[in-house]
């Protein structure tokens, strides 16, 4: 039996779902491998043998769409996974290897109808021109449901794959050196996102004439050189892909402290933060950065939480203990770890909303176990509390998030 349900039934349900009520809370799902617990792949239900198949990812996203979640993020990287995230390790008892997140999103996008799809892109070693047209293409494939999560890549083994720049080792630096190194990569990412947005705007919305009678397909006056010259990039443009359906696909970023919070405020439409003691800790920094950048649109800020869900706290704790035994070590995470039943998780999300966050991004410990609990347990509970939509409000990811379609900066 497929733990995530039959995808044909799920797709039909998503297509037939009514357009309906608004929500006050946004929910995102973060997908990584078989789940965010290192022992997840050894769970009997995990479908680890299908991890590198299209069906596995399609089933998960269709289930999330049945729950009317705003979006799904898809993790990616430019080096094999490692437990500490910064250095290569030789372990073979963990999931290692990935499919390309953008390609996964394009495949799943053709089989879904409402949910937003946000693959991750490493900004340190990729070119914004390539990512801009890849995400613009995804926006066309999904009729306006695309986004991209930008992330820096400071690992030496990542840079060794490209040979264009040599990065030092984090372990060779003291705390101040690590901070300075990371800040430089975040500065580069600010420029990267600016280039993305300019390239998406480099075609005006009505640049395609497609007039067979006159033989004019494009109005050349409505294509624009972006002529970006910065410390990190020199990009003339225009893009080779017409302006995406959303105008600009949604840009997301993850932030743990001051500098990435500033990136969220300056450059992102959605920020994922990792509150543990103070849910609203990141908000002043993000809002101040927004104001300095002269941004009028609000930024949606979601709290990240890794979830181990079950019928009650006792059974959830038993699940976690078993997963820890499989992994050979206790679960650790940069995000808050929630272990318990659905009502307690709903309480947490409600408290975050009261503190000023826009909602939550949920990291399932085991995708095939925790995602059904989210869709069939958490979502109905939040609806009962009046905190979450009963059906999708619109068609695009910007619609789901309540974000306006940006005006084109180059249009007269």
Tell me the binding residues for FMN: 76
Using a 10 angstrom Cβ sphere, with 0-12 exposed, 13-18 middle and 19 or more buried, the burial of residue 50 is middle
Nearest to 10 by CA among 79, 51, 69: 69
Q: Are strands 228-229 and 234-235 parallel, antiparallel or unpaired?
A: antiparallel
Angle 330-381-111 from CA coordinates, rounded to 5°: 80
Q: Are 148 and 118 in contact (CB under 8 A)?
A: yes
Helix spans in 18-123 (H): 54-66, 101-109
| Residues of the binding site | 76
Q: What does the angle CA 25 – CA 31 – CA 37 come to, to the nearest 5 degrees? A: 105
d(CA 63, CA 3): 10
Nearest to 169 by CA among 88, 229, 101, 109: 88
> What whole-number distance in Å separates Cα of residue 176 and Cα of residue 140?
43
Torsion 66-135-303-369 (CA) sign: positive
Closest residue by Cα to residue 365 from 1, 26, 32, 3:
32
């Amino acid at each position: 039996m497929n733990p995530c349900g039959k995808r044909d039934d799920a797709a039909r349900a998503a297509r037939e779902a009514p357009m309906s009520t608004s929500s006050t809370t946004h929910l995102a799902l973060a997908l990584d491998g078989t789940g965010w617990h290192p022992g997840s792949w050894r769970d009997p239900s995990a479908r680890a043998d299908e991890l590198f198949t299209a069906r596995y990812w399609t089933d998960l996203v269709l289930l999330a769409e049945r729950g009317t979640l705003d979006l799904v993020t898809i993790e990616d990287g430019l080096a094999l996974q490692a437990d500490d995230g910064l250095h290569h390790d030789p372990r073979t008892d963990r999931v290692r290897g990935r499919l390309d997140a953008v390609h996964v999103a394009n495949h799943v996008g053709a089989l879904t109808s409402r949910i937003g799809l946000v693959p991750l892109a490493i900004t340190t070693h990729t070119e914004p021109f390539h990512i801009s047209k890849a995400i613009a293409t995804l926006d066309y494939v999904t009729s306006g449901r695309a986004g991209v999560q930008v992330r820096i890549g400071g690992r030496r083994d990542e840079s060794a794959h490209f040979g264009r720049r040599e990065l030092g080792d984090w372990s060779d630096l003291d705390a101040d050196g690590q901070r300075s190194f990371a800040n430089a990569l975040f500065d580069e990412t600010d420029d990267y996102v600016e280039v993305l947005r300019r390239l998406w705007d480099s075609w005006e919305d009505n640049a395609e004439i497609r007039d067979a009678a006159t033989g004019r397909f494009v109005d050349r006056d409505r294509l624009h050189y972006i002529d970006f010259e910065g410390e990190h990039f020199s990009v003339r443009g225009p893009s080779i892909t017409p302006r995406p359906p959303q105008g600009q696909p949604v840009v997301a970023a993850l932030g743990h402290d001051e500098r990435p919070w500033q990136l969220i405020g300056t450059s992102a439409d959605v920020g994922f933060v990792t509150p543990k003691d103070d849910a609203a800790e990141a908000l002043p920094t993000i809002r101040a950065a927004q104001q300095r950048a002269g941004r009028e649109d609000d930024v949606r800020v979601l709290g990240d939480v890794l979830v181990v869900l079950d019928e009650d706290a006792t059974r959830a704790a038993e699940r976690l203990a078993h997963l820890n035994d499989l992994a050979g070590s206790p679960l650790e995470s940069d995000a808050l770890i929630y272990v318990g039943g659905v009502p307690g998780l709903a309480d947490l999300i409600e408290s975050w909303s009261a503190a000023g966050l826009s909602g939550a991004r949920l990291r399932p410990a085991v995708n095939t176990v925790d995602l059904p609990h989210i869709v069939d347990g958490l979502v109905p509970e939040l609806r009962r509390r009046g905190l979450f939509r009963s059906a999708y409000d619109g068609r695009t990811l910007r619609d789901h998030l309540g974000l306006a379609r940006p005006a084109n900066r180059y249009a007269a």
